[in-house]
């Protein structure tokens, strides 16, 4: 590498410091919870004295296991519905000569701008008063989907604009019926986008508090347990809970990161 002159080195150094400061701003609170979760003294954890006690206590909390299971169920249900709707919407919008494409896309994105707590309350009222559906896991899944589908749609749309729909025409000319075309050609080319949307809507459903809280009645989920615990003052088990949830979410984000790399390799290869 060519010698970097001192001025340029100064600029690069400054940029690095700013980047690190930004990451610190984003992640320190999260890391601090993780740190607290293994500290014997949570009030003033310096110097550090490690303990696994809070995790132990969390594990024997019966609510925790049920809550984890329920959150996973809500996450999976939300992810399945959101991905299905978002994929269909994105394909419909891009594949066919649709009029008012922009307006249709914006209407899919509108839930992003509605406060989640309003979605929570209004779906509760609507489900109970109009449809007569009680609060339970299923209605929490449906309510979460109204919100997550927007994110899933964004993720898929961003990828699908790069897909060349003429490949579908090629498949049809060579004898593939529409569903076969999707299975043989479309999906193998767009699956990273679909999986990315699935993971993101899973995380949203899994983590969601406001929408879930109003629609799930008294059934515990991890975020509602955290909220419930908070009302009796902050218990150290909460740190352990938060850390476990964050670890899970970061693991999934890492999968997305891998997908972006693989997806870029697979989808981004120019044809010439």
Partner 1 sequence: MSDQAILRIEAVEKRFGAVRAVDGVSLEIGSREFFALLGPSGSGKTTLLRIVSGLEAPDRGRVEIGGTDVTALPPYLRRIGMVFQDFLLFPHRTVAENITFPLKMQGRSAVEREEQLDWILGFVRMEGLGDRFPHQLSGGQKQRVALARGLIARPELLLLDEPLANLDRELRKEMEIEVRRYQEELGIPFVYVTHNQEEALTMSDRMAVMHRGGLEQVGPKLEVYNAPATRFVASFVGAPNRLSGRAMQDDGERLLIDWGGIRLVGRAAGSARPGDAVEMFLKSERIALGPAADAAQHENRLEGTVRDIIFKGQFADYIVRADNDVELVVSGPTSVAGVERNARVTLGWPVEAADVFAVEDGEP
Exposure letters 149-159 (e unless 16+ CB within 10 A, then b): bbbbbbbbbeb
Smallest separation, CB 181 to partner 1 (Å):
8
CB of 184 or CB of 235, closer to partner 1: 184
Q: Which two structure tokens, joined as six digits, stand for 173? A: 């000319």
Q: Which two tokens stand for residue 142?
A: 């449906």
Residues in contact with partner 1 by CB under 8 A are 164, 166-167, 169-177, 180, 184-185, 188-189, 266, 269-272
Query: At its nearest, how many Å lie between partner 1 and the CB of residue 176?
Result: 5
Q: Rounded to the nearest whole angstrom, what is the least distance from the CB of residue 267 to partner 1 in the complex?
A: 8
d(CA 163, CA 91): 10
Nearer to partner 1, 204 or 259 (CB): 259
Integer-rounded Cα Rg, in Å, for the chain is 23
Positive/negative CA dihedral, 38, 44, 47, 49: negative
Of 9 and 162, CB closest to partner 1: 162
- State the minimum distance, in angstroms, from the CB of residue 187 to partner 1: 10
- Using DSSP's 3-state secondary structure scheme, residue 220 falls into coil
Nearer to partner 1, 65 or 95 (CB): 95
Query: In residues, how long is the chain?
Result: 272
């Amino acid at each position: 590498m060519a010698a970097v002159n001192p001025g340029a080195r100064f600029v690069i150094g400054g940029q690095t410091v700013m980047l690190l400061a930004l990451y610190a701003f984003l992640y320190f609170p999260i890391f601090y919870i993780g740190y607290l979760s293994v500290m014997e003294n949570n009030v003033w954890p310096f110097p550090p004295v490690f303990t696994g006690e809070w995790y132990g206590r969390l594990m024997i909390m019966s609510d925790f296991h049920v809550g984890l299971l329920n959150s996973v169920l809500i996450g999976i249900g939300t992810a399945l519905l959101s991905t299905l709707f978002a994929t269909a919407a994105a394909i419909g919008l891009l594949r066919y000569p649709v009029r008012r494409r922009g307006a249709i896309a914006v209407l899919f994105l509108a839930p992003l701008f509605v406060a989640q707590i309003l979605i929570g309350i209004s779906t509760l009222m609507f489900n109970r008063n109009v449809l007569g559906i009680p609060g339970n896991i299923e209605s929490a899944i449906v309510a979460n989907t109204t919100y997550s589908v927007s994110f899933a749609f964004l993720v898929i749309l961003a990828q699908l604009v790069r897909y060349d729909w003429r490949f579908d025409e090629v498949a049809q000319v060579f004898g593939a019926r529409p569903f076969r075309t999707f299975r043989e050609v479309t999906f193998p080319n767009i699956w990273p986008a679909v999986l990315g949307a699935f993971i993101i809507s899973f995380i949203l459903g899994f983590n969601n508090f406001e929408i879930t809280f109003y629609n799930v009645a008294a059934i515990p989920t991890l975020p509602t347990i955290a909220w419930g615990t908070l009302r009796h003052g902050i218990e150290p088990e909460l740190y352990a809970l938060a850390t476990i949830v964050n670890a899970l979410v970061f693991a999934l984000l890492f999968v997305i990161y891998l997908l972006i790399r693989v997806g870029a390799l697979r989808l981004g290869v120019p044809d010439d």
